[in-house]
Each structure stands twice: as structure tokens, then as C-alpha cells.
Structure 1
Amino acid sequence: MEYVVRVPAPPLDRFIDDIYCLSGVPRHRRMNVPPMPSAHLFVNLGGPVRLWDSDPSVPPAVLTDGWFMGVWTRRFLFEYPTPVRLVGVHFKPWGISPFADMPATELRNRWVPVDAVWQRSLERIRDQVGDTASAGETLRVLEAELRSRLAEAPWRGLDLVRHVGGRLETSHGAVPIGALTDAAGVSGNHLAAQFKSHVGVTPKRVARIYRFARLIVSVDALRPVDWARLAQTAGYFDQAHFSREFKQFTGHTPTDYLALRRRFPAERGFPPDSGPMPAE
């Protein structure tokens, strides 16, 4: 598949890590996605996409247009159509807040149709992109839509969340939450309330996800992996806790995860072998 990605210009880069266009025929259609420190927007310009929550009580979905997803605290699965034509946005954990007029808790562990958040925007995007636009032009259209949607009014508490979230991002979740509240001059309850409002989860949960992300991007499936060393570097000082969280987040033990990575190596030119993985 072709994967074209770029970081948007300011001020969007305060809220968005990157926007990307994915097209072509996937080597692996069904992917298992662990919790990662981001929220998402997908605009589907191809065939239907199928989604499964790892919580078996949640019914699966078939989505044909576009959808928002907030921060996920558990894994989910999706199945690409053939061929793929998809445009996506990786928001920072707090990044959806100024674009969506709804509490972030309503997007946590959920997929919500784009038109339920941005009325009639998909029709406008589709009209501008058409069937033949290049990846670069498609990204330009989506970036312009995001820029037009960026709220101009001040967002109560968002600056605090951005500041603390930035510390969690740069430290990979290693800074104690108590130290962050002290540095910000706020109570733990106030900080947690603001994170729930703008992220959908507490800062402690965000720290856990950043810590796991640091570990998973450190795995080089082509070489022997010292799990104990990687876990300690990422901030896991209890091996049993690391093993439980790894199984919870990926659905695999570390050994089985590594075997799966080796059976299905990353596709050349595709995103790094660090997030979604083939689902058996």
C-alpha cells in the first residue's frame, strides 16, 4: 500500500501529530490495534470498513463514510476493504477537543460517525477530492477542513491539559502525576477533571498508554528482545504488572507478540512496525 503522511502547519500541529493518506491493496486486511496515545479521524473514500471492539459485549460495526475515535484504553480490530482509499488524522490525546463540540468522554473507546460531529462535512470533502485526486491534494483538502473547524473561542482548561500532556508525551509517561499537579499548581482532582473533559481519560491513564507506546516502538522484531530490559526502560518495575498490561493491551503474551511480528513483518514504506499488527 502507499502511505503518504505529513505534519500540518501551525496552529494545527498543537493538536495533531500527522495526517495521512492510505491507498492500494493491503497485505493484511485485518489489524489488531493496541491502545496508543492518540485520537483519530478517518474519512473513508473506498469500500466498507469493519470494526470490532475487544469487549465482546459491543456489537461490531460496518462503516462506509467516516468516523471519529477518541482515546482507546483497550485494543480494537479493523478490517480494510480491497482496495483501500482512506484519509486519516492522528490527533494528540487532547487534540480532538477544539474540533468536536462534545465531551471527550463520549468518544472514549467508541467510534462515532463524522456527520454526528461535523454535519455535512463528508459530502463537501468527497466533492472536493473526487475519485482521482492525488494523495497530496487529498491531504490538502482535509487540512483545510480541519483549519476551518478549529474553534476560535478559548477552551477552558485545555491549555493546562496541553501543558501536562506535553510533559507526559516527552517523558513517555514517566513523570509522576503528583509532580505534574504540583508544578501546575492545581489539585489532582482538578487535573483529572480537565483531562476527562478534553481527553476522555485521566492523566494517569494517559501516562500508562504513553509508557506502553514507548515499549512497543522499542521492539525490533528482527533481533532478540530482552523484555525485562525494555520493560524497565519504559518504566515497568514490576514484571508481573508488565506481563498483565501487555496481554491486556495486545491480546498476546510478549513471546507470542514477537512471534506474530516475525511471521508478518512490516510492509516496506508502510508505518513503522510499532502499532497495529496483523490479527490472526
Structure 2
Amino acid sequence: MKYVGRVPAPPLDRFVDDVYCLTGVPRHPRMNVPPMPSAHLFVNLGGPVRLRDSDPSVPPAVLTDGWFMGVWTRRFVVEYSTPVRLVGVHFKPWGMAPFADLPATELRDRWAPVDAVWRRSLDRIRNRLGELAPADEALRVIEEELRSRLAAAPARGLDLVGHAAGRLATTHGTLPIGALTEAAGVSGNHLATLFKSYVGITPKRVARIYRFARLILSVDALRPVDWADVAQTAGYFDQAHFGREFKEFTGHTPTEYLALRRRFPAEPGFPPDSGPMPAE
């Protein structure tokens, strides 16, 4: 499968990590996706995509056209039809806010059709993308759509959230929340309220996800792994807590995860393999 992605030009880069086009036949059609510090937009030009929440009370979904996903705090499984043709956006955790006029909590751990967020727009976007448009053209189209929808004036508090969450990103979630609140110059309750409005979760949860993302992306399964050292480097100082969170976020113990990754190694330079893992 081929992944073509790029960081968009300013001002989109304040809110978007990358736009991308994913095409071809996946090596692993079922992928187990742990919580990662992103919100998403997908425009599907291929076959149906099936999503299964790790929460058994949530029914599985079959998604055919396009959908938004907020920040996820638990893992889910995605199953692709073949061949895949998908145009997507990885928003920063707070980055969807200036493009979608709804509270971020409504998309936390959820998906919603594009037309439920951008009224009556999906057919027009899909027609512009076309069935055979090259990847670079598809990325240009999706960037133009984002620019046209970027709010002229940022919502009140979004700059503060972006700055605070950016500090969590650069410190990989290890910055104490008290220090983050003090630097922001607001109360902890006020900052948590702003994060819920624009990210969907509290600063503490955002920090947890950044910390775990650093850990999972740092593991080289082809080499011996000292889990205690990896965990401490990522900011886990309680091994029991690390083990519980690892199992919660991946569905595997560290030992099980390492065995899985050695059987199915991530493809170098292929971002969809960075974090997500084959689902058995």
C-alpha cells in the first residue's frame, strides 16, 4: 500500500499534522489502533471500512463515504476493503475546532459522517477528488477545502489550548499538569474546561496519550527491548501503572506486543504502521 502525505502550508499547519492519500492493497487489512494524539477526517473513495470499538457495548460501524473522528482515548479496530483509496487529514488534538462548529466532546471516541459536520458537502468533495485523481491533486483539493472552512477568527480560548497542548506535545506528555496550568495563567478547572471544549478530553488525558505515543513509537521490535528503561524514558515511573495502561491501550501485554511486532514488523517510512498494529 502507498502513503503520500505532506504538512500543509500556513495557516493550516497550526492545526493539521498532515494531509495524506492512502492507496493500494494493505498488507494487513485489520489493524488495531491505540489512542494517538490526533483527530481525523477521512474521505473514502474505495470500498467500505469497518470500525470496531474496544468497548463491547458500542456496535460496529460500516463506513462508506466520509467521516470525522475526534480524539480517541481507547483502542479500536479498523478493517479495510481492498483496494484502499482514502484521502485523510491528521488534525492536531485541538486542530479540528476551527473547522467544525460543534463541541469536541461530541466526537470524542466517536465517528460522525462528514455531512453531519459539513452540511451537504461530501458529494461535492468526492466529485472534486475524482476516482482517478493523482495523490498530489487529491491533497491539493483537501487543503483547499480546509482553507475555505478555516474560521476567520479563532474561537475564544483556542489559542490558549493550542499553546498548552503544544507544550504537552513537545514534552511528550511529561510536563506536570500543575506546571502547564501555571504557565497558562489560568486555574486548573478553567484549563480543563477549555480542553474539553476544543480537544474533547482534559489536559491530563492528552498528556497520557502523548506519553504513550512516545513510548510505542520508540520501540524497535527488531532489537532487544528493556521495557523498564523504555517506560522510564517515556515518563512512566510506576511499572504496574505502565503495564495496566499498555494493556488498556493496545490489548496486549508488552511481551505479547513485542512478539506480535516481530511476527508482523512495521514497514519503515509507512506512517500507518507507526502505532497501529495488525489485529489477529
TM-score by length of 2: 0.98
1:118 corresponds in structure 2 to 118
Deviations 1:25-44 (A, max 9, x none): 11110000000011111110
CA positional deviation for 1:267: 3.1
CA distance in 1, matches of 2:265, 2:242: 24
Root-mean-square deviation over aligned CA pairs? 0.9
1:265 corresponds in structure 2 to 265
On the 8 A contact 2:32/2:75 being kept in 1, the answer is yes
* TM-aligned CA distance change 1:227 to 1:273, over 3 Å: farther
CA distance in 2, matches of 1:4, 1:275: 18
CA distance in 2, matches of 1:181, 1:208: 16
Percent identity over paired residues: 83
CA positional deviation for 1:153: 2.8
CA positional deviation for 1:22: 0.3
1:51 aligns with 2:51: yes
1:183 aligns with 2:175: no
CA positional deviation for 1:130: 1.2
Higher deviation after alignment, 114-123 or 197-206: 114-123
1:96 corresponds in structure 2 to 96
Deviations 1:91-114 (A, max 9, x none): 000001111110000000001111
CA positional deviation for 1:270: 2.1
CA positional deviation for 1:55: 0.1
CA positional deviation for 1:183: 1.3
2:174 corresponds in structure 1 to 174
* TM-aligned CA distance change 1:123 to 1:272, over 3 Å: closer
3-state SS of paired residue (1:179): helix
2:199 corresponds in structure 1 to 199
2:153 corresponds in structure 1 to 153
3-state SS of paired residue (1:141): helix
1:12 corresponds in structure 2 to 12
CA distance in 2, matches of 1:266, 1:241: 26
1:60 maps to a residue whose letter is P
Deviations 1:153-179 (A, max 9, x none): 330110110110010000001111101
1:250 maps to a residue whose letter is T
1:277 aligns with 2:277: yes
Number of aligned residue pairs: 280
On the 8 A contact 1:27/1:267 being kept in 2, the answer is no
Deviations 1:183-217 (A, max 9, x none): 11100000000000000000000000000001001
1:212 maps to a residue whose letter is F
Higher deviation after alignment, 124-133 or 245-254: 124-133
3-state SS of paired residue (1:207): helix
2:279 maps to a residue whose letter is A
Higher deviation after alignment, 47-56 or 126-135: 126-135
CA distance in 2, matches of 1:246, 1:131: 40
3-state SS of paired residue (1:74): coil
CA positional deviation for 1:273: 4.2
Ranges of 4+ aligned residues in structure 1 off by more than 4 Å: none
3-state SS of paired residue (1:42): strand
CA positional deviation for 1:152: 1.0
* TM-aligned CA distance change 1:189 to 1:268, over 3 Å: closer
2:20 maps to a residue whose letter is Y
CA distance in 2, matches of 1:179, 1:269: 35
On the 8 A contact 2:43/2:126 being kept in 1, the answer is no
1:31 corresponds in structure 2 to 31
Unaligned runs of 5+ in 2: none
2:248 corresponds in structure 1 to 248
2:243 maps to a residue whose letter is S
On the 8 A contact 1:219/1:274 being kept in 2, the answer is no
